[in-house]
Amino acid sequence: MTDSFTGPSGLFIDGGFRHASDGSVFPVEDPATGKTIVDVANGSVVDGLAAAEAAHRALVPWGACTPGSELKFSGPVLKS
C-alpha cells in the first residue's frame, strides 16, 4: 500500500469496516502511472453472506426511519 490513500480500505459490513475474512486484498492502481494506490479487502463468499445477514437485520429499523432520520445510520459512512 502507498501513502497516497488515507480512507478506509476494508469491507463495510454491519456498521463498520473490516478486513476480508480470509485476509486477502487486491491492489487498486492509478491508471495513469500504474502505481498501486491502495490495497483493498477482497471479499469472499463468507463476507458476502455476512453482509447479506447484516442487511437483513437492518431492514426493519431502516424501513421504520422517517425522512431525514436515516442520516443517523448513513452519516458515519458518508464522513469516512
- Overall pTM surpassing 0.75 (yes/no): no
Determine contact, residues 51/13, Cβ cutoff 8 Å. Answer: yes
pLDDT digits over 4-13, tens only? 778 888 999 9
From the list 60, 62, 21, the residue with the least C-alpha distance to 42 is: 21
Distance CA 5, CA 37 (A): 6
- Is residue 64 a contact partner of residue 39, using CB atoms and an 8 Å limit? no
Q: 3-state DSSP call for residue 9?
A: coil
Kindly report, residue by residue over 12-57, the tens digit of the pLDDT: 999 899 999 999 999 999 999 999 999 999 999 999 999 999 999 9
Please state, in angstroms and as integers, the Cα–Cα distance from residue 64 to each residue in 33, 50, 57, 58, 77, following that order: 47, 22, 13, 10, 19
